[in-house]
């Protein structure tokens, strides 16, 4: 990247900072859940139109595809933001706290939107330096399986795209720094519902019934043995049940229990085996207790793997903009991201944007009701995305 262009990107980004903060606080105060991000989409569309960018048609109720065409022919590079919030009640005492009760941007998607919208604004101002096209994906429903990435892809989000860039805020990384990791970075996912079917009866006569709660409890405990005894111990695996429902009264043996589970791993080979291992375990336990079951797959995401070449572009541009010694090599996590679905199709990378600042209590984990982000990170995110997108386009032209 030419030093003069890098300096111009940083200058324009810093000039835009008050607007970035305004956008971020607007998004934060008006969060919307997956696939109902109507106000969010409308606001994004209004801001995009001000920049004179082209809005591409998509057959989805929410979300946005935007395109910037440069003066010179070249490839199409994509930049993605997610736009949905979580069913979390915010406990932060801030002026721009969520106005929508029980809904919160507790994973930083408000920061993501402001950052990508900012990158689109800066790049629109520097259109003469753009080779080919830059496409901006404002994707709905990242937080709710089966996710919004695949519907966006089906609507042409990656049509003609050579590379894709993404970001995720990280409260474990200090503001002013970023995190990068080559290869497997976030886990694959197998989300599933399990319905255990027993036979109801009186609590005093369990021998005349089939207790679905007891069977479900044994299933939960036994599935942990898959993790400890049936997968390679050097490949991390978790199987977690986040929701269980069943029963009507303390003296009634229930005939049906519903469980919502997720299985995660960083190994593509292990990912393929997990559904069959889960089914086999559940089937064996239910047969032993004369119970039935239904295992319902809800969603699968692949392992999120960053392309080393794209990471080098991100690292090189970050150091050109902000100096050396501020890039963290992040550890892989068993959290998931449907950004991995894009990376299945085209090379790219997702970097971690440091937002940690204990002085303002921006040190709480993702999905916490007290999640906070240092807004100074917006400058880092916008400038890096803009610079990296220009270089990727130039290298692949």
Q: What is the CATH number of the domain that holds 159?
A: 3.40.630.10
239 with 340, same domain: the answer is no
* Dist CA 161 CA 140 (whole Å): 20
Q: Are the CB atoms for 103 and 31 separated by under 8 Å?
A: yes
Please give the biggest Cα pair distance in the chain. 81
The tally of CA atoms less than 13 A away on the side-chain side of residue 27 is 32
Tokens of 326: 């501020």
For residues 139 and 223, membership in a common domain is answered with no
103 shares its domain with 202: no
Cα–Cα dist 332/304, whole Å:
10
pLDDT of residue 395: 65
Last residue of a domain, one of 244, 266, 301: 301
Same-domain status, 91 and 179: yes
Q: Across the strands, what pairs with 259? A: 194, 244
**207 with 295, same domain?**
yes
Under DSSP, the state recorded for 227 is I
Same domain, yes or no: 203 and 75: no
Residue 144, both tokens: 């709710």
CATH code for position 281? 3.30.70.360
Same domain, 291 and 367: no
Residues 308, 384 share a domain: yes
Residues 251 and 372 reside in one and the same domain = no
If asked whether residues 158 and 210 sit together in one domain, one would say no
Tell me how far apart the alpha carbons of residues 192 and 256 are, in angstroms, rounded to a whole number.
17
Torsion sign across C-alpha atoms 201, 207, 209, 213: positive
Look at residue 232 in the predicted model and tell me its pLDDT.
86
Cα atoms in the Cβ-side hemisphere of radius 13 Å centred on 331:
4
Q: Are residues 192 and 156 in the same domain?
A: no
pLDDT of residue 4: 85
Residue 64 belongs to what H/E stretch? strand 64-69
For the chain, how many structural domains are there in total? 2
Q: Which of residues 301, 330, 351 is at a domain's end?
A: 301
Check residue 3 and give its pLDDT: 83
- Tell me which of 275, 301, 327 is where a domain ends: 301
Residue range(s) defining the domain that contains residue 316: 3-185+303-396
pLDDT value of residue 393: 83
- For tokens 């004369």, the residue is 290
Q: Scanning the structure block, which residue is given the tokens 């992040």?
A: 330
Same domain, 119 and 210: no
Q: What is the pLDDT of residue 397?
A: 52
DSSP E strands in 246-357: the ranges are 252-253, 256-265, 292-301, 304-306, 327-329, 348-356
Give average pLDDT by consecutive 10-residue segment, the chain, 397 residues.
Answer: 87 98 98 98 97 95 97 94 98 97 98 98 95 97 96 98 98 98 96 98 97 98 93 92 96 97 94 96 98 96 97 97 96 95 98 98 97 98 98 74
pLDDT at 396: 57
């Amino acid at each position: 990247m030419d030093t003069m262009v890098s300096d111009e990107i940083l200058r324009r980004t810093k000039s835009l900072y008050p607007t970035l903060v305004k956008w971020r606080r607007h998004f934060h105060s008006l969060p919307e859940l997956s696939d109902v991000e109507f106000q969010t989409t409308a606001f994004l569309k209004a801001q995009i139109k001000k920049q004179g960018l082209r809005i591409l048609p998509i057959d989805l109720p929410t979300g946005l595809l935007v395109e910037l065409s440069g003066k010179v022919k070249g490839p199409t590079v994509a930049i993605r933001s997610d736009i949905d919030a979580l069913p979390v009640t915010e406990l932060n005492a801030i002026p721009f706290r969520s106005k929508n009760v029980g809904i919160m941007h507790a994973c930083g998607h408000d920061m993501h939107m402001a950052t990508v919208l900012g990158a689109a604004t800066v790049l629109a101002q520097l259109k003469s330096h753009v080779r080919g096209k830059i496409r901006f994906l404002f994707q709905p429903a990242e937080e709710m399986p089966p996710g919004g990435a695949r519907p966006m892809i089906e609507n042409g989000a990656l049509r003609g795209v050579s590379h894709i860039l993404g970001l995720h805020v990280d409260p474990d990384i200090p503001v002013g720094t970023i995190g990068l990791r080559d290869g497997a970075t976030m886990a694959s996912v197998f989300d599933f519902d399990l319905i255990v079917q027993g036979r109801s009866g009186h609590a005093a006569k369990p021998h005349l019934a089939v207790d679905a709660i007891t069977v479900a409890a044994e299933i939960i405990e036994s599935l942990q043995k898959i993790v400890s005894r049936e997968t390679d111990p050097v490949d991390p695996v978790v199987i977690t049940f986040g929701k269980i429902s069943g029963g009507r009264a303390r003296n009634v043996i229930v005939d049906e229990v519903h469980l919502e589970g997720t299985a995660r791993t960083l190994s593509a080979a292990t990912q393929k085996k997990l559904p069959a291992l889960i089914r086999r375990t559940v089937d064996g336990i239910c047969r032993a207790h004369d119970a039935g079951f239904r295992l319902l797959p809800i969603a699968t995401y692949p392992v999120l793997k960053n392309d080393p070449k794209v990471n080098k572009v991100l690292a090189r541009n970050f150091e050109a903009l902000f100096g050396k010694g501020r890039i963290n090599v992040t550890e892989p996590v068993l959290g998931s991201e449907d950004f991995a679905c894009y990376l299945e199709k085209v090379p790219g990378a997702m970097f971690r944007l440091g937002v940690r600042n204990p002085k303002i209590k921006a040190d709480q984990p993702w999905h916490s009701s007290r999640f906070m982000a240092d807004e100074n990170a917006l400058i880092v995110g916008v400038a890096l995305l803009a610079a990296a997108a220009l270089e990727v386009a130039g290298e692949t032209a």
